A and B are shown apart, each in its own frame.
Chain A
Amino acid sequence: MKARAFDYVRVSTIDDALAACARASGDFCYLAGGQSVVPSLSLRLQAPQLVIDISRIKEMRGIALIDGALRIGALTRHAEMLISPEIARHAPLLRLAAPHIAHPAIRNKGTIGGSIALADPAAEFPAVVLALDAELEIAGPDGRRRAKADGFFKGIYETGLEPGEILTAIIVPQFGENDRCAFDELARRHGDYALVGCAIQGRFAGNDVEAIRIAFLSAGPTQKRARNAEVVITGHRLSPKTIADAQSALELDLDPTEDEQTTATMRLHLARVLLGRVLGQFSCDSPRGGGRA
């Protein structure tokens, strides 16, 4: 299929992007890595009058440690997560999750900002930023603001972004000495949207889990933290009983949906199995950068 005809403008600053948005007389969309937008245009799932290409905006690129937090430009590509020393050191959970995103050709083009702004319920990075307790830097017609990742994902393709707003950067708290993380997912084939995925980051005090954030993808209409499971684990050693209790708690945490691949019941079952396995990789004895890539 071919896209319906549309106007196209390429901007080089955030202000120019917002100005183009303000001038738009009809539907418009932003284009970054294009790995979701371009297929949806070709399939005529969306047919905006104007496409604003934000992929060349310099201030939305780059990874830097600023005031004890890592600022990741929204245009940072998935492939960069795999090679950036800053990511490996300060936000290793992103590096653990990135290989699970589609295939190399897609990772070379797709951006973290695009993944988060689109909020596909099967995407990896929305779950990761929840587990990281990240903040999102947003520019819009009414100025710039920051939003917590918690509460940002509201439903299928639905986020806290207001019309015209652009996600410009992701701010991640620096990875601490006693922090550990783990990520895994169950996908039918390498690169497929996962049947269920799980991202964990937390802090150990000795052998006890002092704090933990567990976020799931593909386990409901949107990425979601498993807060009951987190409560079960917090303050405890990761014994088989703690893990089993956390697995049980997922029934309260998740609202799995049914699709061609899985019933809701099976999805919950798989989420429990996966939580057990990811917690198995999440250990105070494992390397700081996570048990497995």
Chain B
Amino acid sequence: MSLSPHKPDSPNALIGRSVARPNAKRLLAGRGRYVTDIQLPRMLHAAFVRSPYAHANIVSIDTSCAATMRGVCLVATGEDLAKLCKPWVGTLDHFAGMKSPPQLPLAVGKVVWAGQAVVAVVAGTRAQAEDAIEHVAIEFEELEPVIDIDAARAIDATLINPDLGSNVAFHAKIESGNVEDAFRDAAAVIEKAYLFGRHTAVTLEPRAIIADYDPTEERLTVHHSTQTPYQFQDLYSRHYGLREARVRVVAPDVGGSFGMKLHVYHEDMAVVGLSIMSGRPVKFVADRIESFVSDIHARDHRIKARIAVEADGIIRGMDVDDVTAVGPFSTYPRTSVVEGNQVVRLIGAPYRFRNYRANLDVVFQNKVQTSQYRAVGHPIAFAVTEALVDSAARKLGIDPFEMRRRNIVTQDMYPYTSPTGYKFERLSHEACLDKLHALMDYPRLRREQAEFRRRGIHRGIGIAMFVEITNPSPAFYGVGGARISAQDGAVVKVTPSGEVHCLISVGEHGQGTETIVGQIIAEQLGIPMDAVRVFTGDTDITPHGGANWACRGAGIGGETALQAGRALKRNLLAVAAIILQARLEDLDMRDGEVVDAATGIPRISLAEIARICYFRSDTLPRDVTPQLSVAHHYSPKGYPFAFTNGVQACHVEVDVETGFVKILKVWVVEDCGRIINPMLVEEQVRGGVVQGLGAAFFEECLYSDNGQLRNGSLADYLVPMAGEMPDIEIAHVETPTLDTELGAKGCGEAGTAAASAAAMNAVNDAIAPLGVSVSQIPMTPQRLLRVLGYA
């Protein structure tokens, strides 16, 4: 039996090949089936009356007029749904001392952000529901909104949640080594404040849900554009008092998620209650404005940080203070403090200094909730780290590459535990730095930069290293009390015609999970890719699992598929050995056939084995019952996380008269362990870089002083678009994790993790000769002109 997935030259090799996505043609042809495409009999549509105020008491609600309008079936208030739905609280036990108030589907008594859903109208069409919401009369009494990041902690601050006694959701402190000593007598100390604006995911497909409650069987079916159907099965069942096994959550085609589609949203919870109240299917599809005011936002950090270095560039220590504003409460069930927690734990991670101190304050604010979005905390941690490292290098006159080489955690130091407690199995900083240096032809770029400077053209080169948290074990959520699985399951079965179906708990939302799972299964079984079909995202059908978040699909889902495929192969070879009266160890599977392992001569096809097992089992010995379906579960057991690493470079040209930045090129060298599909890894990295460049230059949720989102449309909120994006060249280093046989780690957040860091360093490198620097993202023309002394 040839079982190694690591032999690209073996006859079955698919792991490591750029296999095209089997689902791409269907999706490109417009044959995708998203939630909004689903039309159920007797289906109704929901629309919501939203709060125009960021903070206000609800004095009265009059729905009498709306209730009588054409097509309206149901008008529900917060009190109505509170009778059905148990409140939820967005805290986790392992974040000691964190606080958050109970939440309900619709506002009860007061509203805490502009855009919060207050009243739901359910009607025959969405247009009718929207007609009716114009006739719901709500009287508000405005309260002082808490908008500014400092206002939350002011002595006389308005309390958003008076029962909690303060606007501070969470506080954490990390202290390692001796920071005071490190900063005393250091050759150089650099201190700076960094600002990171709010942005949001902007998935192509917005949030969408259909809840379909059948009172006769007390069964709830939810068609949901989500990355975590199992988590929502648990939540809908617990909060609406339904038996879990009678709640089915189906994620059909999902048009992007980026972490945005795994949080509890008030409208989604409401839609479940509205279906229970009406006894009919109820659909809600967020339009773009609703997405901007109700999808989670992310980032919004202000960090004061300092670095102490020796004269030779060796980093002595870092000291950071992070304040982040998360919205009026903490998001459920994964909280709004994970980002801040990861920021303070990831700062400095590529480097070997031991003196580190961090202070984290997470405060409430009358804006929409923030929570996990692609690369949670990483972009902020590495923007701060890498800006400090570059500033120190500049001050000491050390080249940025050399500065990093002198400080990284080196090969002889693994396994290595960071000052913040992260355990690194093995990273490849030296190899990545060397590869990047060659890939970008760094010396040539520096020569060219000098030449351009003489001509008054300001080009800059920015380097940024990163590590990335992937393959999370139960240490991430399970230990905190959340019913969020860290394991995954797969069922693999042979069809009567000899093809293979794989039902697996990891999902597909555009990143290519189906493809890599298919590759892994096909390689194990020696069958062509097109003989494997992968099914995901249906809690009634696919095995229970964690699904997709924190870059776990390839590393955990992939290992699950690998083990399941091997188990099925063992069963198939066992029955083949009996049929062929051969020894099992003399057989292998290649090209859809069981072959003689030594000669490769075909002995019997998979289709023939299936025919015999399913239709002529009478021809097999009495004591043989072939098992042509197998189930396998896998849970990470070794390191709490499989950390990955890499380094990015960004090349920009700054127009110092206009503040416009042309992004000339980005290079990424990344190490995600075993690469299952190079094309998909590279597209994940590119997409991630683009989102990072969006954060660096374009994307920001802008609020007025009274808490109104001012740019809630795609005309005003600038997502990164192809016209402004540079070529992104990618190279790889492969350091497989030894925790699994597959050896794969995650790659989905690597691009985002350091793209904005490299971009900020590049801009600062470009404008350094002018004696100025920028420390806020996005780096808009306005902000750059301000540091350049105009405007």
- The answer to whether A269 and B785 touch across the interface, beta carbons within 8 angstroms, is yes
Q: With the chains together, A1 CA to B658 CA distance in Å?
A: 37
A192 contacts the other chain (CB 8 A): yes
A183 contacts the other chain (CB 8 A): no
**Quick one: given A3-B127, A188-B698, A265-B791, are A273 and B716 in contact (CB under 8 Å)?**
no
Q: With the chains together, A273 CA to B131 CA distance in Å?
A: 48
List, in ascending order, chain B residues with CB within 8 A of A262's CB.
781-782
| Chain A 180-205 per-residue mask, 1 if CB under 8 angstroms from chain B, else 0 | 00000010111111010000000000
Q: Which interface residue of A186, A260, A273 has the most chain B CB atoms within 10 A? A: A260
Q: With the chains together, A43 CA to B657 CA distance in Å?
A: 37
- The answer to whether B723 and A191 touch across the interface, beta carbons within 8 angstroms, is yes
A88 contacts the other chain (CB 8 A): no
A263 contacts the other chain (CB 8 A): yes
- The answer to whether A269 and B790 touch across the interface, beta carbons within 8 angstroms, is yes
A280, chain B: closest CB distance, angstroms: 12
A5 contacts the other chain (CB 8 A): yes
Q: With the chains together, A12 CA to B575 CA distance in Å?
A: 76
B47, chain A: closest CB distance, angstroms: 9
Query: Chain A: how many interface residues by the 8 Å CB criterion?
Result: 24
- The answer to whether B782 and A273 touch across the interface, beta carbons within 8 angstroms, is no
- The answer to whether B702 and A266 touch across the interface, beta carbons within 8 angstroms, is no
- The answer to whether A186 and B658 touch across the interface, beta carbons within 8 angstroms, is yes
A146 contacts the other chain (CB 8 A): no
Q: With the chains together, A186 CA to B658 CA distance in Å?
A: 9
A-to-B contact residues, CB < 8 Å: 1-5, 43-44, 186, 188-193, 195, 260-263, 265-266, 269-270, 273
- The answer to whether B781 and A188 touch across the interface, beta carbons within 8 angstroms, is yes
- The answer to whether A2 and B791 touch across the interface, beta carbons within 8 angstroms, is no
- The answer to whether B790 and A193 touch across the interface, beta carbons within 8 angstroms, is no
Our pick among B658, B711, B716, B791 for the contact of A263 (Cβ within 8 Å) is B791
List, in ascending order, chain A residues with CB within 8 A of B715's CB.
192-193
- The answer to whether A190 and B723 touch across the interface, beta carbons within 8 angstroms, is yes
- The answer to whether A266 and B711 touch across the interface, beta carbons within 8 angstroms, is no
List, in ascending order, chain A residues with CB within 8 A of B724's CB.
189-190
Q: With the chains together, A262 CA to B721 CA distance in Å?
A: 21
Residue of B nearest to A42 (CB): B287
List, in ascending order, chain B residues with CB within 8 A of A273's CB.
657-658
B264, chain A: closest CB distance, angstroms: 24
Our pick among B127, B721, B782 for the contact of A261 (Cβ within 8 Å) is B782
B126 contacts the other chain (CB 8 A): yes
- The answer to whether A2 and B790 touch across the interface, beta carbons within 8 angstroms, is no
- The answer to whether A263 and B723 touch across the interface, beta carbons within 8 angstroms, is no
B660 contacts the other chain (CB 8 A): yes
List, in ascending order, chain A residues with CB within 8 A of B289's CB.
1, 43
List, in ascending order, chain A residues with CB within 8 A of B785's CB.
266, 269
Interface of B is mostly: loop
A-B residue pairs, 8 tightest by C-beta: A266-B791, A190-B723, A2-B127, A273-B657, A265-B791, A260-B702, A269-B790, A189-B721
Q: With the chains together, A273 CA to B287 CA distance in Å?
A: 39
**Quick one: given A269-B790, A269-B791, are A260 and B710 in contact (CB under 8 Å)?**
yes
Q: With the chains together, A139 CA to B738 CA distance in Å?
A: 78
- The answer to whether A263 and B782 touch across the interface, beta carbons within 8 angstroms, is yes
Residue of A nearest to B129 (CB): A2
List, in ascending order, chain A residues with CB within 8 A of B710's CB.
260
Q: With the chains together, A195 CA to B718 CA distance in Å?
A: 13
- The answer to whether B287 and A1 touch across the interface, beta carbons within 8 angstroms, is yes
A-B contact pairs, 28 of them (CB 8 A): A1-B289, A2-B125, A2-B130, A3-B127, A4-B127, A4-B130, A5-B127, A5-B131, A186-B781, A188-B698, A188-B718, A188-B780, A188-B781, A189-B718, A189-B721, A191-B723, A192-B715, A195-B781, A260-B702, A261-B780, A261-B781, A263-B782, A263-B791, A265-B791, A266-B782, A269-B790, A270-B781, A273-B657
Residue of B nearest to A1 (CB): B287
Q: With the chains together, A190 CA to B724 CA distance in Å?
A: 7
Q: With the chains together, A193 CA to B715 CA distance in Å?
A: 8
List, in ascending order, chain B residues with CB within 8 A of A44's CB.
130
- The answer to whether A189 and B287 touch across the interface, beta carbons within 8 angstroms, is no
**Quick one: given A2-B126, A269-B785, A273-B658, are A192 and B790 in contact (CB under 8 Å)?**
no
- The answer to whether A189 and B790 touch across the interface, beta carbons within 8 angstroms, is no
B283, chain A: closest CB distance, angstroms: 13
Residue of B nearest to A192 (CB): B718
A257, chain B: closest CB distance, angstroms: 14
List, in ascending order, chain B residues with CB within 8 A of A265's CB.
791
Q: With the chains together, A43 CA to B130 CA distance in Å?
A: 11
B601, chain A: closest CB distance, angstroms: 58
Q: With the chains together, A133 CA to B603 CA distance in Å?
A: 85
A180, chain B: closest CB distance, angstroms: 24
Q: With the chains together, A3 CA to B134 CA distance in Å?
A: 12
- Given A263-B782, A273-B657, 4 other A-B contacts at CB below 8 A? A43-B289, A188-B698, A192-B718, A260-B710
| Chain B 770-781 per-residue mask, 1 if CB under 8 angstroms from chain A, else 0 | 000000000011
Q: With the chains together, A77 CA to B84 CA distance in Å?
A: 54
Q: With the chains together, A84 CA to B541 CA distance in Å?
A: 58
Q: Which residues of B, 671-718, contact A by the 8 Å Cβ criterion? A: 698, 702, 710-711, 715-716, 718
- The answer to whether B131 and A4 touch across the interface, beta carbons within 8 angstroms, is yes
- The answer to whether B780 and A189 touch across the interface, beta carbons within 8 angstroms, is no
List, in ascending order, chain B residues with CB within 8 A of A261's CB.
780-782
| Chain B 382-422 per-residue mask, 1 if CB under 8 angstroms from chain A, else 0 | 00000000000000000000000000000000000000000
Q: With the chains together, A43 CA to B292 CA distance in Å?
A: 14
List, in ascending order, chain B residues with CB within 8 A of A2's CB.
125-127, 130
